[in-house]
Amino acid sequence: MLTIAHLSDIHLGQVHLGDGGERARRRSERVMAYLDALPGPLDAVLVTGDLADHGLAEEYRQVAKVLSSRHPVLTCPGNHDRRSPYREVLLGEAPGEEPVNRLHRLPGADVLMLDSSIPKQDDGLLDDGTLDWLDAELASGRTQLPALVAFHHPPVELHLPYVDPIRQFGAVRLARVLRRHPRVAALFCGHAHTPAATTFAGLPLLVAPGVVSTVTLPCEGGRGISFDHPPMLALHVIDGDRRTTTHYRVVSPA
Ligand SMILES: [Fe+2]
Ligand SMILES: [Fe+2]
């Protein structure tokens, strides 16, 4: 059994009502403090993109500090991130504009963190090289273990007017790859800033709540994005049958 925490869209550097980015930093620190204070272990913490609000090197220095944890923290970029400073500051690698795709081998599962960002665009796409890489990694190595696949942009409509036009496109290609690999237990994404669950390619698609804001449904009124909801996170439990059960937790913003 695996227990995975999942948060997203911490947007460090986001200025809210002229606060110099304080609110985003404070909320992110609260969420990470919640996880660090858990008495039990976590197998990993997934952070599915929009780590920095403007993709600046100084923002990634803050990201590195805020996301440092006693748990293994696995990240992927979102549309607000920039690949070169992400690589240099967060990963300690040479700068480069290729997609930032990473395989993490946990003791009980492979976790594939994919880059669905398109430089200078808000919508998303897993490019052909990323999908080929995913296909090859799922087919190789520890095929007896479950695989978890994460990216920033949801590949389906979530019925959110704010997010649906900037979702992940070209998703039929992703579905084709996923259907070839029954070891994939579930899919994880961010970008939508709302705790949501749906399906894609016959798999659970679990959307992380946003830390800095919450995107709302038309029936909830307002302008489609709320800064009043508290930050949240998800805890996913993957059992021996590769069934994923998700629990959401609210964290006090103060
Ligand atoms: Fe975001
Ligand atoms: Fe995003």
Q: Residue 52 C-alpha to ligand 1 middle, in angstroms?
A: 9
The amino acid present at 110, given as its one-letter code, is: D
- The alpha carbon of 34 and the centre of ligand 1 are apart by a number of angstroms equal to 21
State how far the Cα of 41 lies from the Cα of 100, in Å rounded to an integer: 27
Predicted pLDDT at 81: 98
The reported pLDDT for the residue numbered 254 is: 74
Using alpha carbons only, what angle is made at residue 29 by residues 224 and 211, rounded to the nearest 5 degrees?
Answer: 15
- In tens, the pLDDT along 195-224 reads 999 999 999 999 999 999 999 999 998 889
Ligand nearest to the CA of 212: 1
Give me the mean pLDDT over the 147-170 stretch: 97
Q: What is the mean pLDDT of residues 137-157?
A: 96
Q: What share of the chain is helix, strand, coil (3-state, %, to 5)?
A: 25, 30, 50
> pLDDT tier at 38 (50, 70, 90 boundaries)?
very high
What number is the average pLDDT over the span 225-251? 96
Given a cut of 80, whether residue 232 has pLDDT beyond it is yes
**DSSP states along 85-138:** HIIIIIS------S---EEEEETTEEEEE---B-TT-SSEE--HHHHHHHHHHH
CA of 109 to the centre of ligand 2 (A): 26
Is 80 exceeded by the pLDDT of residue 164? yes
User: Topology of domain 2-250, per CATH?
Assistant: Purple Acid Phosphatase; chain A, domain 2 (3.60.21)
Residues in the chain: 254
- Beta carbons within 8 Å of 141's beta carbon, 6+ residues apart: 105, 110
Residue 183: per-residue pLDDT: 97
Region 47-58 average pLDDT: 98
Q: How many angstroms does the Cα of residue 175 sit away from the middle of ligand 2?
A: 21
Ligand 1 centroid to Cα of residue 158, in Å, is: 15
Query: What CA–CA distance (Å, rounded) separates 60 from 57?
Result: 5
CA–chain centroid gap for 241, Å, is: 24
Ligand nearest to the CA of 118: 2
Q: What is the mean pLDDT of residues 133-138?
A: 98
What mean pLDDT, rounded, does the chain reach?
97
Question: Domain coordinates of the chain in residue numbers?
Answer: 2-250
Q: Alpha-carbon torsion 171, 178, 206, 50, what sign?
A: negative
